[in-house]
Amino acid sequence: MRNYYFTNIVKLLVLGCSLLACSCSSVKYVPEDKQLLNKVRFKSDIPDIKSEQLSPFLQQAPNSYMFSIMRVKLGVYNMSGRDTTKWINRWLRKIGEAPVVYDSLLTQRTKEELERELKNKGYYDAEVDVKKQEKKRKVKLTYDITGNEPYIISSYNVSLPDDSAMLILNRRDTAAMLKAGQLFDLALMDKERENVTLMLRNNGYYNFQKELLGFKADSANHKVALKMELQERYLKNDSLREVIFRKKKVGNVYIYSITDAANMLTLSSDTVQLDTTYYQGYCVISDNRKKRIRASALAAKTFIRPHEMYRERWVTRTYERLNNLPAVKYVNVSFYDVGNDVLDCYIVVSPEKAHSFSVNIEGTNSDGNLGVGVGVTYQNRNIFKGSETLKIGVNGAYEAMRKDGVFYHSAEIGGELGIVFPSLLMPFSTKSFRQQSLGTTELSASYNFQRRPEYVRNIANVAFKYVWMRRNVRYTFDLIDFSLIYLPWMTGEFAEKYLNPSSSVRYSYEDHVISRIGFGVSYTSQTRANSLRNYYSIRGGVQTAGNLLYGLSKLFKQEKNNGSYELFHVPYSQYVKGYFDFSYNQIFNPKVRLVWHTALGIGFPYGNASVLPFEERFFAGGANGLRGWSVRSLGPGAYKNTTGYIDYMNQSGDIKFDLNVEARFKLFWKLEGAAFIDAGNIWTIKAYKEQPEGQFQWSEFYKQIGCSYGIGLRLNFDFFVIRVDMGLKLYDPCYETRSERWRSSFNWKDDIAFHFAVGYPF
C-alpha cells in the first residue's frame, strides 16, 4: 500500500535533486562559441560487444548522470559563482564537475580507437560512423558500429625448436587459450603467450619470456590458420636459442632479514653486525643486534628450494607467504646466474615495526539511551620471533538509561588476550596441505563484566581455532570454544520474570557453560582483474555444543540437578546451529549496482538444554537486517512487545530468515546513495509461553514475514564506509488485523528507524 507521508518525502527529495541539477543552465560555464557534450551512446550490431566494453575507449565522455536523468555534479558546479576567491565557490567546483566542452578532434580520435579495438577483436572490416545531433548549444553523439564478417581461427598450433619444451606444451591441450572456431582476438593471443611462458618457466626455463613469442597468420575468406613460434631473430641465432631453452636449477638460497634492507649493499660493519644461520639448506643472514625473525619461520614460508629445478610458481608462492607474515613489511626476490645452469637466489625481507597501539572511542544510542565506549589495544607482531602476533585489549563502556522517569546506569568492562601463529599447527595434517594452505592458528582468552539495573553478569571465554585459505575459499575450524556465564546477582523482579520454575527461557539467565566446536566456509567470486563483472559471496557453517560433555555425563552415570547435567555445579548447553548467507552483486556500470542478499539460520536445543543460550539465539532488526525496525525489536513471529522498551530476552529466536535487495549508486564526490527493501523475521522452534505466537508454523510463517523499505547515504572512503539508513515499516506482523499490518500510514515513533553504521550491510 502507498505510504502517503513517505511518498511526499520522496517527491520532495526528487524535486530537490532536480532543482539542484537544473539550478543553473547546464551551459552556464560553456564558452559562447562552444557546445556542451550532452550525451554519448553506442549502437552496434555485434551482439558480443557491449557498451561497457567500448566506454573505456571514449576520449571524451559527457558529464556523469545519476539514474540516467540528472547531472547532479554538473549542477553543483554550476551553483558556484564566478568569483573564485570565495571559498564556497572553490568548494562547490571541487566537489562538482566542470562542463565537458565538445571537441571534434577527440571525437575523431575516439572513432579511430574504436576501429582499432574492433580490429583487435577480429573485426577487421568493421565500420564506425559518428552521428552528431545539435540542439541549444548541446551535442549528442552516436557511434554507430557495423561489425561485418569477422576473422575466425580455423586452426592453431605451436612450434618451438626444442623437443623438451614441446613435450611440456603438448600436455596442456585443455589449458590452451586459443582454439579453432574462436575470433581472431589479439587479447586472447596475448594471454596465450603468457600461458605458454608460465608453463615453461614452471619447468625450469628461467630465461624464457613472452616477448620471445610471435604469431604467423595465414588468412583466406576470413579464416585464419594461426601458428605460434619464436620470433624470427631468435630462430636464426643458434647461440641465443640455446640460452633461451636451457633449464636452470636453484643453487644456494640466501635470506636477508635486516632492518635497513633497502640499503643492504651499502651497510658496513660499523653500522650493522650480521649473523649467519644455516637452516634446512637455507642461509639466513640477519642483524645480530636486532634479530627480528627466526630462521625457521622464514624458511617455512620460502618455497624456493635449494638444488631443485627453478619453478616460477614457487617464486610467486614465496612472495605471497612471506608478505602475509605480520612481522614483514616487504619482500624482494632476485636470482643471479653463477654458471653451469645454476641460479643463486637472494631473498630480502624487510621487517615491520613490531609494536603498535590503538585507541577506539565510540558513542552509542540504544532506544534513546546514550552511552560511550572506550577500547585500548596493544599488538606485538613478532612476540616469539616467528611472526606470531600477540594482542592485548582492554575495553569499557557506560550507558545512562531512563525508565518511567528514573535514571539507571549500565557499565561494562572487559579484557582480551590472543596469540595468532602464522601457520597451521595441526599435528595430523600433511606437509603438502600446510604448504598449499595459507593459514593461521589462533589462541584467545577473554573476560567481560556487565552491570545492568537488572543483573550482574560475568562472561569468560577461551578458544582455539584454525583459519586457512585454499583455492580462494576461506575455512574456519573452532576446535575449542569454551564459555562460562555466571550471574552472581539480579533483582527480584527480574528473577521472578525469567527464573521462576515455569519459565521456559530461564536457562539463558542462569549460570551455564557452553563448550562448542564449529566449522565455517566462505567464498567470493569477485576478482580484481574485472571489477565490473557480476559476482557473488557465500558464507555458511555449523556448530555443535555439549555433545562430548553429555557423553561423559552418561558414561559416568552422573545425576541430574534440576533436570540438567552439570559441569562444576554449572549446567552446560547442548545444541546444534547452522547458518547460510548469500549475496549477489549485479553491476550495471561503475556507478550503479543492485545487491541481492538472503540469509538463513537455524538452532536447535536438545539433550541437556530446552532453549538455546541467549548468546547463540538470533535476533531481527537493526542496521544489517530489517532496517524498518531497531535492533532486537521484531519477532519472534507475530509476538508483540508491550513493555515499552527493548525486550532482549523475549525478542530472540531459534530460526532467522532475511531477504534484502539494495540499489547502490554514486552521487558525487565520496557520497553514495541507496534504496532498499528488506524482508524477514525470527521464530522459535518450540512453543514458549513468554513468546506467544513466536513458534514457527508452516501454515503461518509466511504471514509473519516483516517488510520494510527505505533510503540511505554512504560516505565511501575506499578503506571504510560510513553509512546512514532510514527504514520505514511496510508490513508489521505483530498487529492483529491485515489492515493494521500493512502500514498505510505511520507515526514517527513506531514505524521509522534510523541507523548509523560502518561498512555495507551485506
Q: Three-state secondary structure along 509-530? A: HCCEEEEEEEEEEEEECCCCCC
What is the pLDDT, as a whole number, of residue 646?
64
Same domain, 196 and 303: no
What is the pLDDT, as a whole number, of residue 654?
94
pLDDT at 179 over 60: yes
What is the pLDDT, as a whole number, of residue 272?
60
165 φ, ψ to 5°?
-65, -40
- Please tell me which residue, 574 or 590, carries the higher pLDDT value: 574
Confidence grade of residue 260 (pLDDT, cut at 50, 70, 90): low
Same domain, 622 and 523: yes
**Residue 561 DSSP symbol:** B
| Residues 504, 487: Cα–Cα separation, whole Å | 18
Same domain, 469 and 427: no
Same domain, 333 and 400: no
Output the domain CATH number for residue 31: 3.10.20.310
pLDDT at 25 over 80: no
Confidence grade of residue 282 (pLDDT, cut at 50, 70, 90): very high
**Range name among 127-131, 259-263, 349-353 with the lowest pLDDT average:** 259-263
Three-point CA angle 424, 428, 432, nearest 5°: 65
Per-residue burial over 642-672, b = 16 or more CB atoms within 10 Å of its CB, e = otherwise: eeeebbebbbbbbbbbbbbbbbbbbbbeeeb
Helix (H, G, I), strand (E, B) or coil at 631: coil
pLDDT at 23 over 50: no
| Residues 506, 136: Cα–Cα separation, whole Å | 75
What is the pLDDT, as a whole number, of residue 262?
52
pLDDT at 24 over 70: no
Confidence grade of residue 453 (pLDDT, cut at 50, 70, 90): confident
Confidence grade of residue 328 (pLDDT, cut at 50, 70, 90): very high
The 10s digit of each residue's pLDDT in 611-640 is 888 888 999 998 888 999 888 889 899 998
Quick one: average pLDDT of 136-140? 91
**Range name among 238-242, 519-523, 708-712 with the lowest pLDDT average:** 238-242
Output the domain CATH number for residue 567: 2.40.160.50
**Residue 704 DSSP symbol:** G
In a domain, 459, yes or no: no
The listed range with the strongest mean pLDDT (91-100, 320-329, 555-564) is: 320-329
The 10s digit of each residue's pLDDT in 541-554 is 999 999 999 999 99
pLDDT at 5 over 50: no
Number of domains in the chain: 5
Minimal CA–CA distance to 497: which of 509, 489, 488, 487? 509
Output the domain CATH number for residue 215: 3.10.20
The answer for residues whose C-beta is within 8 angstroms of residue 346's C-beta and 6 or more apart is 254, 256, 333, 334, 335, 336
Measured from the Cβ of residue 318, the count of other Cβ atoms closer than 10 Å reads 20
Quick one: average pLDDT of 410-438? 85
Same domain, 605 and 727: yes
Quick one: average pLDDT of 158-168? 92
| Residues 17, 494: Cα–Cα separation, whole Å | 51
Minimal CA–CA distance to 132: which of 150, 112, 111, 118? 111
Instruction: Kindly report the average pLDDT of the chain as a whole number.
Output: 86
What is the pLDDT, as a whole number, of residue 22?
46
Helix (H, G, I), strand (E, B) or coil at 369: strand
Same domain, 636 and 574: yes
What is the pLDDT, as a whole number, of residue 12?
43
What is the pLDDT, as a whole number, of residue 19?
45
Query: Which of 244, 264, 297 delimits the end of a domain?
Result: 244
In a domain, 707, yes or no: yes
Same domain, 311 and 277: yes
pLDDT at 8 over 50: no
| Residues 693, 686: Cα–Cα separation, whole Å | 11
In a domain, 458, yes or no: no
Same domain, 445 and 514: no
| Rounded percentage of the chain residues whose pLDDT exceeds 90 | 52
In a domain, 706, yes or no: yes
Helices (H), 427-514: 431-436, 492-498
Query: Which of 84, 117, 146 delimits the end of a domain?
Result: 146
The 10s digit of each residue's pLDDT in 63-78 is 887 655 678 788 888 8
Same domain, 411 and 289: no
What is the pLDDT, as a whole number, of residue 291?
64
| Rounded percentage of the chain residues whose pLDDT exceeds 70 | 89
Minimal CA–CA distance to 654: which of 693, 690, 682? 682
What is the pLDDT, as a whole number, of residue 598?
97
Query: Which of 146, 174, 200 delimits the end of a domain?
Result: 146
Contact in structure between 305 and 281 (CB atoms under 8 Å): yes
pLDDT at 3 over 60: no
In a domain, 457, yes or no: no
What is the pLDDT, as a whole number, of residue 403?
65
Quick one: average pLDDT of 336-349? 94
Quick one: average pLDDT of 270-290? 80
| Residues 751, 728: Cα–Cα separation, whole Å | 6
The 10s digit of each residue's pLDDT in 103-126 is 999 999 999 999 999 999 999 999
Helix (H, G, I), strand (E, B) or coil at 211: helix
Same domain, 309 and 448: no
Spell out where 64-151 has E strands: 127-135, 138-146
Same domain, 727 and 671: yes
What is the pLDDT, as a whole number, of residue 504?
59
**The three cell numbers locating residue 475:** 575455512
In a domain, 238, yes or no: yes
The 10s digit of each residue's pLDDT in 226-253 is 999 999 888 888 888 889 999 999 999 9
Same domain, 18 and 99: yes
What is the pLDDT, as a whole number, of residue 507?
67
What is the pLDDT, as a whole number, of residue 9?
47
In a domain, 580, yes or no: yes
Domain span including residue 158: 152-244
Confidence grade of residue 364 (pLDDT, cut at 50, 70, 90): low
In a domain, 80, yes or no: yes
